[in-house]
């Protein structure tokens, strides 16, 4: 499932490939990934220049000329790939292409989504600002500090792992990196957020940032579907300490990693060293 590091990797790849390109037209193959009507979407995007590509939380945001914002939430299996002339084509079949954006220069930007839980939208600057304002701080940004994390945790009784997954509290963290950061900070995922001590919040802050940054450096985690904008796999799966590692030895102590369901989602942790 694409989280912050996967979205960031896609953004960096696309930025190199498509900024400055003009979207010639839009081919809607599976309209169910669009939040609005296909005709309106086509009109909003066609003929505009790609001025920049950014990330906010898990979303890939393409800034278009005329203050239009093409926003993509990758859902479970969404991919954004660029096929550019003179470059080897990413290895992905056309079977799951949902939206294609042919570019004037002969390339094509493709939104591909096997399960189609992703969402593609074209918004005005005002609409996008409102959307962005509803999200929590960027965990790698300056506004996200150990004390702001502690203050924010202290207001909630949710299990800390659920708290981390709430995009309104902190943007971009999903189940993989929430579990990994909690393991790093030696905090049990079921602990109520408001019982996390200041010292623990400090550890959690440091480990969350370190895990996300290391995962960006590894171009994200590929279990099956996630690919970079160039169609490559991410390599962070090799570094996972607890996520998907149930029954394996904890890399830190002699404990055995457990999986349990907390608030409807799998949690992975070491019962011996996470308190
Ligand atoms: Zn352990």
What's the CA-to-centroid distance between 184 and ligand 1, angstroms? 10
Rounded to the nearest angstrom, the distance between the alpha carbon of 265 and the centre of ligand 1 is 21
CA–CA–CA angle 210, 213, 219 (5° rounding): 140
Is residue 189 part of the annotated active site? The answer reads: no
CA distance 178 to 185: 11
3 catalytic per annotation? yes
Secondary structure letter of residue 195 according to DSSP: G
At 5 the pLDDT is 98
> How is residue 178 written in tokens?
């929430």
Q: What's the gap in Å between 254 CA and the centre of ligand 1?
A: 6
Note the pLDDT of residue 190.
98
For 151-175, write each residue's pLDDT tens digit: 999 999 999 999 999 999 999 999 9
CA distance 58 to 6: 8
pLDDT of residue 86: 86
Q: Which of 48, 55, 56, 58 is catalytic?
A: 58
Known catalytic residue at 6: no
Q: Tell me the per-residue pLDDT of 58-114, one tens digit each, with 9 for 90 and over.
A: 999 999 999 999 999 999 999 999 999 988 776 566 789 999 999 998 999 999 999
Distance 235 CA to ligand 1 centre (A): 23
| H/E run at residue 261 | strand 258-262
Query: How far, in Å, CA of 32 to CA of 75, rounded?
Result: 13
CA proximity to 176, closest of 192, 190, 161, 194: 161
Q: Which two tokens stand for residue 118?
A: 């992703």
Determine the Cα angle at 238 with ends 75 and 8, to 5°. Answer: 40
Query: Which residues on adjacent β-strands are paired with residue 119?
Result: 73
How many other β-carbons are positioned within 10 Å of the β-carbon of residue 185?
Answer: 21
The whole-model pTM stands at 0.96
pLDDT < 70 stretches in the chain: 90-93
- Contact indicator for 259, 267 with CB cutoff of 8 Å: yes
């Amino acid at each position: 499932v694409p989280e912050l590091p996967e979205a960031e990797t896609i953004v960096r790849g696309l930025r190199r490939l498509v900024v400055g390109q003009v979207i010639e037209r839009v081919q809607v193959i599976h309209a169910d990934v669009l939040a609005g009507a296909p005709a309106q979407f086509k009109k909003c995007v066609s003929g505009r220049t790609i001025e920049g590509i950014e990330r906010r939380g898990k979303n890939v945001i393409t800034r278009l000329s005329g203050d239009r914002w093409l926003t993509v939430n990758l859902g479970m299996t969404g991919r954004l790939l660029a096929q550019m002339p003179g470059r080897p084509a990413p290895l992905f079949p056309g079977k799951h292409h949902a939206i294609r954006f042919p570019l004037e220069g002969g390339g094509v930007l493709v939104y591909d989504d096997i399960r189609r839980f992703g969402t593609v939208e074209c918004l005005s600057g005002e609409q996008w600002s409102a959307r962005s304002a509803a999200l929590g701080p960027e965990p790698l940004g300056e506004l996200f500090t150990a004390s702001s994390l502690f203050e924010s945790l202290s207001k909630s009784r949710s299990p800390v792992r659920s708290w981390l997954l709430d995009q309104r509290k902190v943007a971009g963290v999903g189940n993989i990196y929430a579990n990994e950061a909690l393991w790093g900070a030696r905090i049990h995922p079921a602990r109520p957020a408001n019982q996390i001590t200041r010292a623990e919040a400090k550890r959690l802050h440091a480990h969350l940032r370190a895990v996300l940054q290391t995962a960006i450096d590894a171009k994200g985690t590929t279990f099956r579907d996630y690919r970079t904008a160039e169609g490559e796999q991410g390599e962070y799966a090799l570094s996972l300490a607890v996520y998907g590692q149930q029954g394996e030895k904890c890399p830190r102590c002699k404990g055995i990693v457990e999986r349990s369901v907390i608030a409807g989602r799998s949690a992975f942790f070491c019962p011996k060293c996470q308190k």
